[in-house]
Amino acid sequence: MKTQFTNNRKQRERGSALVEFTIAGIASAVLMITTVQISLAMWNYHTLAYAAHEANRYIVVHGRDCMLGGNSCTITVADIVSKFKANGIGLAPTNVNLTLTSHSGTTHTCNPISTCSIDTTQWPPNSGFDNAKGKYSTINAKYAMNMGIVGIWFGTSGTQIGTIALTSQSKLQMLF
């Protein structure tokens, strides 16, 4: 009688390991994929912020005083975009938008940055002495990152997150 009870119990528990593994496996897979996606988002944000800061640093060392003594160190929007791309390794240029803002509020928008790759507009502008020492230069950068995760929350049935917008701003004072 005891063996029949043990056999019935084993038959009732058959497949329970598979069900438990499936439940735990799905949760583990979602956690792992989400961790990778968040890590990629953090890496992209850091790269965006670094590229914006370095491009702005490039601007502030090429101001009005840089041109004294016959130096031809004026820069163009294309030069700034090139510097941004060189420091923004891994960022898709078609997903990056840049807005350059001078001290007086003059703006130049590159939406996306590939549209400004051959722009010969001098930056910072001479008008209003925006390129004088002590004035500010600002770069706003926005990156549309494609996400591959699906958000599952109470009341929804798998909403695709799609893209998230990462933004960064760098504001520096003209040095030369």
Tens-place pLDDT, residues 105-122:
999 999 999 999 999 999
Structure tokens at 114: 């590939």
List of residues 6+ apart from 81 with CB closer than 8 A: 55, 98, 110, 113, 116, 117, 119
Chain segment 122-156, per-residue pLDDT in tens:
999 888 888 899 999 999 999 999 876 655 554 55
Report the domain count for the chain: 1
What domain range is 73 assigned to? 2-173
User: What is the Cα–Cα distance from 95 to 90, expressed in whole angstroms?
Assistant: 11
Cβ(123)–Cβ(76) below 8 Å: yes
The confidence score (pLDDT) of residue 29 equals: 85
Closest CA to 137 of 176, 168, 172: 172
Distance of alpha carbon 36 from alpha carbon 84, whole angstroms: 26
**What's the rounded mean pLDDT across residues 66-89?**
88
174: how many CB neighbours lie within 10 A of its CB? 24
Q: pLDDT-derived band of residue 157, with 50, 70 and 90 as boundaries?
A: low
